[in-house]
Chain A
Amino acid sequence: MDYRRDIPLVITFLIGVIAVMDYYTTFTSVKDVFTIIKNWGIVLEAFALGLGAVNLFRVHGRRISQRSTDWIFSALLLFMLVLFVVVGLGTGQYEAGTQYQWIYNSFFLPIGSTMYSSLAFYMAFGAYRVLRARNLDAFLLFVTAIFVILGNTPIFPATAPQFFYIREWIFTAIVGGTYRGIRIGVGIGAVVIGIRTLIGMETGYLGRR
C-alpha cells in the first residue's frame, strides 16, 4: 500500500460514505460521527482560507525581491493584505471592528462591486459586435434574448404589458422545460463523478504524483 496515495483515497471513501449514510439512515451513532466530521470540516475549510495569502506572499515576494516588472504593484498588493490582517487581527474584533469595516467599505466593497459589474460594458459591446442572426440556431437565441431583454426593461411592459407576459411565458415554458432536462443531466453527471471520486477512480484532487 502506498501511504502517500492509498490512505488519502481510503479517507475520502470513509468520510464520504458516512456523509451519505447520515442522509439515508437514522442510526444515532452515524449522526454523531457525522456531526464531528462537520465540525472538523468547518475548521479545515477555515485553515484552507489562508492558502491564497501564503501563495501571494510567495509569488509577489519573489517579484519584489527580483525587482520584476510591476514589482511596485506587488508591494501594494502585499501591503493591502497585511493592512487587512493587522487591522482585523490586531484589534481582536476581527471583521466586527469599526476600523476593519472602514477599510472594507473603502477598498474592498467598491472594487468588488465594480469588477463584477463592469462586465456590463463588455456585454453591450459584445452583443453589438457578435450577436448576429446568421442562421436558424443564432436566430433562435437572438429572438429569445431580445424578448427577455424587452420584458425585463420596465419601459416596454409599461407601454404594452404583452412584453411582460411573453417574457414570463418564455421562462415558464421554454426555460422551465429545457433547464429541467439540463438539470437532470447535470445531476446524474455530478452523482456519477461523486461516486467515482469516492471509490478512487477520480484522483485529480490528490495533485501531482
Chain B
Amino acid sequence: MSVLEKLTAIPREIVIGLVVIAMIIPTLNPLGLPIMTGQMAKDWYNAVEELPAGSVVLFDIGYGSGGYPSLGPANIAVFHQFFDKELKVIIMATALEGSMMYPLIMDAVNPETRHGAVYGEDYVFLGYIAGVQTAMAGVLGDLPAIVSTDYLGTPIGQIEVLNGIRGAQDIDVVGYLTTAGGTSEGWVYQAYSAYGLPVLGGFLSMMTTSMKPYYDTGQLIGVIDGVKGAADMEYLTGYPGDAIQSSDVLSFSQTLVVIFIIVGNISYWGSRGARKEGE
C-alpha cells in the first residue's frame, strides 16, 4: 500500500483521537485570540443598547440540554445586557427543557447581586408553555387569558412586572434562543408578521443559512448564530465566558478538520493518478 493509499484509509480511532486531543490542548493552554465580531451579533447588541430603560422584552428560552453548550453562554451574555439596561424581562420557555435551563442561566447571571434586579419587579419567568406557536400566539394575543401563574405558582396579578401587560401591544421587543427551526420561524411569524414586533433571533450556527432571509428582510433585527455569535455577544457586552474560551479551541479542532479534508483530497487524487499511471 503506497503512502497516498494509506492516507486515504486512516483508521477512525486515530482521526477521532486526534480531534479529542485538538480540543483538550487549547482548553488547557488558551491562546487568547482576538474576536472579530460579526455584523449580525452587532445588530442584536445595538438594538438592545438603543432600548430605553423600562422597555419590555419578551424572551423565549427555546433550547434544552442539546443547545446548552452553545446557547447557554449566549443566554448569559444577553441577560447581562438586559439587566444592565434595566429592561423589564418577561421570560418564557417554548422548549420542554427550557424551564430547566432557566435556573442554570440565572445562577450564572445572578441578577439580584450583580445588577440589582428583583424577581417580580424587573423580571419574571412564566415557565414552559406547551404548543410552540400556539403558546407564542397565545402570549402575544392575550397574555392574562392564557397565563394565570408564573413558574413558581404565583398568580400573575401579584407580579408587578406583568401589570398592564396584555399582549403584543405592551411588548417592545421579542428575543429568543432556540435549537428548533419551528420555534425560530414561529417567532418571526407570530411576533413580526402578526404584530410587527421587532424580533431578535438566536439559534445554532447551522440554522443561520436558512434563517438568513429573515434577517436580510428585516424580520430579524439581530442574530446570535451559535457559539460564534455567543462569543461575539460576550465580547460586546463585556462579560467574557465559555463561548470566548471555546473560540480558542475551535481554532485547533476546525483547523484539524480542514487538514483532514485537504489530506483526504490530496491522497485521493494522488492515488487515483498513480493508479492511472500504473495502468
Complex contact flag A–B (Cβ < 8 Å):
yes
Residues in A whose Cβ lies below 8 Å from that of B255? 153, 155-156
- Measured CB to CB, the closest approach of chain B to A151, in angstroms, equals 9
| Residue of A31, A38, A123, A146 with most chain B CB atoms under a 10 A cut-off | A38
Using known A-B contacts A42-B146, A152-B254, A164-B36, determine if residue A121 contacts B19 with beta carbons closer than 8 Å: yes
Q: CA A129 – CA B36 in complex, angstroms?
A: 31
A38 engages B146 (CB within 8 Å): yes
Interface residues of B (CB under 8 A from A): 10, 12, 15-16, 19, 31, 33-36, 38-39, 64-69, 96-97, 99-100, 103-104, 128-131, 134-135, 137-138, 141-142, 145-146, 151-152, 194, 205, 208-210, 212-213, 216, 228, 247-248, 250-258, 260-261, 263-265, 268
Among B10, B128, B142, B257, the most chain A Cβ lie within 10 Å of the Cβ of: B257
Q: Is the CB of A155 within 8 A of B31?
A: yes
Residue A34 at the chain B interface, CB threshold 8 Å: yes
Q: Which of A64-72, A107-115, A195-203 contacts B (4 or more CB under 8 A)?
A: A107-115
| Given A39-B145, A42-B131, residue A115 in contact with residue B66 (CB < 8 A) | yes
Point out the residues of chain B lying under 8 angstroms from A180, CB to CB: 212-213, 216
Residues of A contacting B260 with CB < 8 Å? 124, 127-128
**How many A residues face the partner with a CB closer than 8 A?**
60
Q: Interface code A48-79, partner B: CB below 8 Å = 1, 0 otherwise? A: 01000000000000000000000000000000
In the complex, A139 Cα to B36 Cα: how many Å? Answer: 28
- In the complex, what residue of chain A is closest to B66 when comparing beta carbons? A116
| A35 vs B166: C-alpha distance when bound (angstroms) | 13
A125 B254 Cβ-Cβ under 8 A: no
| Residues in B whose Cβ lies below 8 Å from that of A117 | 66, 69
> In the complex, how many angstroms separate the beta carbon of B254 from the nearest chain A beta carbon?
4
**B-side contacts of A155, CB under 8 Å:** 31, 33, 251-252, 255
* A interface residues, Cβ below 8 angstroms from B: 22-23, 31, 34-35, 38-39, 41-43, 45-46, 49, 95-96, 101, 104-105, 108-113, 115-117, 120-121, 123-125, 127-129, 131-133, 142, 145-146, 149-150, 152-158, 161, 164, 168, 171, 175-176, 179-180, 182-183
Asked whether A154 and B258 contact (CB < 8 A) given A39-B138, A45-B130, A168-B39, the answer is no
Q: How far is the CA of A176 from the CA of B253 in the complex (A)?
A: 27
Q: DSSP majority for the A interface?
A: helix
Which residues does chain B contribute within 8 Å of A39, judged by CB atoms?
A: 138, 145-146
Residues of A with C-beta under 8 A to B146: 35, 38-39, 42
Expressed in whole angstroms, the minimum distance between the Cβ of A76 and any Cβ of chain B is 19
Specify which chain A residues have a CB less than 8 angstroms from the CB of B100 in the assembled complex. Answer: 95, 101, 104, 108-109
Which chain A residues border B69 with CB–CB below 8 Å? 113, 117
